[in-house]
Structure 1
């Protein structure tokens, strides 16, 4: 498998030239467009690393998976899905359109920005500091790494330029979907997106989900079985925004992307995979990451379908 991953990384390098790093958050514009690295971490704790696997990046929307896990654990399925839907979106991840035309104003799913902001508001804690701490601690536990923390340069950049997210959050507040203080919730959300990791951290998070919510390194149940099942389902149908269907056809496993260039993927009962490639397509997904995942799925027969 190591030689296969190495070959796929090298064969996918040219694809990074087809994308551009995110610039709407100024700090992300500093990312290396040519970088491409990956980690496979299986449920037996065997790890394979190739390419620029030491590249540090902010987790961005991949954090939405952990936010959803915390919201479901803290509130239960019925409460969470009374505030946010579970349907795929054909619109960009930061769109306001569907909120305006939905009769109940609920975000379509937890992985668009509106849905993730709602889920952040549902995480236990009396304020944004406590909510962030809850999510951060869960992320550290899932990654088996107590040292992962916020990149405050990215956080400040996100907070300074996050006006679309503010518009979304205030709309949700006006529609009574969010009950807490908007700026407090947004502060927690921006910090979650700005947590800095490497691909091995993300592959370990994916491996817990692949292992039915049990940490492979400790055999401790971290995610309740029902929550884990729901998360895998939402990743499969909504994880790559408005290209989730195409990804399911070409790769066929639960996954979540982020504009930091990461794609986290789950092969149930087998392994977690993380790829980083900061060059993005027009949908906000890593060009190189998608190519690596397509080739891995084909060569290793990973598709759940």
Structure 2
């Protein structure tokens, strides 16, 4: 079964929107605090090129932590599994995404996975390039290939806002540098990372990325392989085990698809072999996930039997 009409999808959006009153926008990042918590948009991208969407499909929103799965795919292609997983682990965590606690408890020091901030900062550090500009350009080129959209860029306003308030991420970087996991200027890591998080796109672009992951790294619209099969599967595994912060287990039970969220309210979903989903709903729950986006996915999963389990 699949969602066949805008009207049908809009009904689910209207039902999920009611839950916005229980969430709040990420106002600890000033630029994100301007979002309307009642906004909710969704796009579903099918392998035959059909797109069904509801809400404001032209609204651009920044990726935030969704970018972690994209940078991971890029770095795995550039450096290989051995080099990457020597510096960052593969285990989920019950701690918040920005926690420093597990770093202090682990010996030798190593972030538990690439989806928490500490691990994502290490992955960004591993992007090859001679300057922050070259590295963010390389990541943007990869994003453009995933979306088929040559106009993708990042929001300078959001990047600057995040860079200027990245006190905890600076702490994580300095801790990792102290233990030899990061070996470059901390400000340069944060320059790339905050611009990475500020990459912006519509929910249609996001759904197109989800489709590539759903089809194991191949863009079915062009028949081009964007990433190797194994890397696509590694990324989807992390999306299942760690993609929804420390609510990933509950999400796996209630929705059951590989997904990655961000504090802008975005969710990237990949239904294996079937389609990609892109959602933006800025009202967040206490774990940092879109409260309306998760409700919408629960409704869709129940209606169309999306769970892979």
TM-score, normalised via structure 2 length: 0.97
- Please identify, of 126-135 and 97-106, the stretch whose mean Cα deviation from structure 2 is larger: 126-135
Structure 1 counterpart of 2:297? 293
CA offset at residue 211 of structure 1?
1.0
Structure 2 counterpart of 1:34? 38
The CA distance in 2 between the partners of 1:100 and 1:215, in whole Å, is 41
The CA distance in 1 between the partners of 2:115 and 2:132, in whole Å, is 19
Q: Secondary structure at the match of 1:39?
A: strand
Structure 2 counterpart of 1:229? 233
The CA distance in 2 between the partners of 1:181 and 1:225, in whole Å, is 34
Structure 2 counterpart of 1:104? 108
Does the CA contact (< 8 Å) of 1:150 and 1:195 recur in 2?
Answer: yes
The CA distance in 2 between the partners of 1:104 and 1:244, in whole Å, is 26
Structure 1 counterpart of 2:212? 208
Structure 2 counterpart of 1:150? 154
Q: Within 5 Å, give how 1:258-277 maps onto structure 2.
A: 258-277=262-281
Does the CA contact (< 8 Å) of 1:112 and 1:241 recur in 2?
Answer: yes
The CA distance in 1 between the partners of 2:139 and 2:113, in whole Å, is 19
Q: 1:284 aligns with which of 283, 288, 294?
A: 288
Q: 1:254 aligns with which of 252, 258, 264?
A: 258
The CA distance in 1 between the partners of 2:48 and 2:117, in whole Å, is 34
Does the CA contact (< 8 Å) of 1:43 and 1:210 recur in 2?
Answer: no
The CA distance in 2 between the partners of 1:14 and 1:7, in whole Å, is 12
The CA distance in 2 between the partners of 1:234 and 1:145, in whole Å, is 25
Q: 1:192 aligns with which of 196, 200, 206?
A: 196
Deviations for 1:261-294, whole angstroms, at most 9, x for unmatched residues? 1011100111000111000011110000000011
Do structure 1's residue 136 and structure 2's residue 140 form an aligned pair? yes
TM-score, normalised via structure 1 length: 0.98
The CA distance in 1 between the partners of 2:230 and 2:56, in whole Å, is 35
Do structure 1's residue 175 and structure 2's residue 186 form an aligned pair? no
The CA distance in 1 between the partners of 2:281 and 2:37, in whole Å, is 7
Q: Secondary structure at the match of 1:76?
A: helix
Deviations for 1:65-118, whole angstroms, at most 9, x for unmatched residues? 110001100111111111001111111111100001100111111011111110
Q: Within 5 Å, give how 1:80-99 maps onto structure 2.
A: 80-99=84-103
The CA distance in 2 between the partners of 1:232 and 1:17, in whole Å, is 31
The CA distance in 1 between the partners of 2:283 and 2:239, in whole Å, is 22
Q: 1:63 aligns with which of 58, 61, 67?
A: 67
